[in-house]
Amino acid sequence: MFGTGGAALRAWVLAQPQQKLIDFGPRLSGIPPGFITALFGSRTLLTLNRGEARHLLGEGDIIALAQHYAARSGLTLICRLDKDGAWICPPDAEPQAVAPYPVTVVDSIGAGDAHCSGLLAGLSAGWTQAVDLANRVAACMVSVQGSSQPPDWKTLDEHFPDAAPLPAFPMR
């Protein structure tokens, strides 16, 4: 996106009127601050893991820094803090903790991608608890070797039988 030929993709991303979910991943350090600033707005969700949050926000209380960043920028920041769950930091409200799903971590490759896929699924269904679904999907993924087999609804239910039931998904 920031190499040769990335200008068209950057322009397209910035021109999208609908809500954006942005997860820069390990390439965050190579992204110009001006591009991140251009993404700001109430229709943007920026999701960061613990290391990415430290890189972007600096040292200190991650949640306080994330809340300040969200308020200053007008976007919603989701901090993925692995075994500590996730935090939703909207620009105009108090941060909200979303509980983790404790599992034995076998392989963390793909955890962020799994979290984003669960988040997108929940958002597309209009769920207010989309981050909870994302936490479940990521927890399932890290509890097995390899990230090639995402969990289906049955697997999620089997892994977390005591979790609050999720609303009906349109294609479930």
pTM: 0.84
Same domain for 68 and 31: yes
The pLDDT value recorded for residue 123 is 87
Higher pLDDT: 131 or 16? It is: 131
Same domain for 76 and 5: yes
Asked whether residue 19 carries a pLDDT value surpassing 80, the answer given is: no
SS3 101: coil
Number of compact structural domains in the chain: 2
Segments forming the whole domain that contains residue 74: 1-98
The pLDDT value recorded for residue 61 is 96
Asked whether residue 2 carries a pLDDT value surpassing 60, the answer given is: no
d(CA 105, CA 66): 26
Same domain for 88 and 107: no
Give the pLDDT mean for 6-24.
Answer: 67
The residue among 98, 126, 144 that closes a domain is: 98
Give the pLDDT mean for 83-97.
Answer: 95
The pLDDT value recorded for residue 16 is 64
The pLDDT value recorded for residue 139 is 95
Write down the residue that tokens 């076998």 correspond to: 106
The residue among 80, 98, 116 that closes a domain is: 98
Same domain for 84 and 117: no
Higher pLDDT: 168 or 158? It is: 158
Same domain for 166 and 118: yes
Same domain for 165 and 118: yes
Give the pLDDT mean for 130-143.
Answer: 94
Same domain for 115 and 145: yes
Asked if 102 and 83 touch (Cβ cutoff 8 Å), the reply is yes
Give the pLDDT mean for 132-158.
Answer: 89
Asked whether residue 1 carries a pLDDT value surpassing 60, the answer given is: no
Higher pLDDT: 103 or 23? It is: 103
Please work out, in degrees rounded to the nearest 5, the angle formed at the alpha carbon of residue 141 by the alpha carbons of 135 and 143: 100
d(CA 142, CA 98): 18
The residue among 37, 67, 98 that closes a domain is: 98
**C-alpha torsion angle, residues 5, 19, 163, 139 (rounded to 10):** 10
Same domain for 32 and 11: yes
Same domain for 46 and 31: yes
Same domain for 106 and 86: no
d(CA 19, CA 24): 16
Asked whether residue 134 carries a pLDDT value surpassing 70, the answer given is: yes
Same domain for 85 and 8: yes
Average pLDDT of the chain, as a whole number = 84
11-20, 39-48, 76-85: lowest mean pLDDT where?
Answer: 11-20
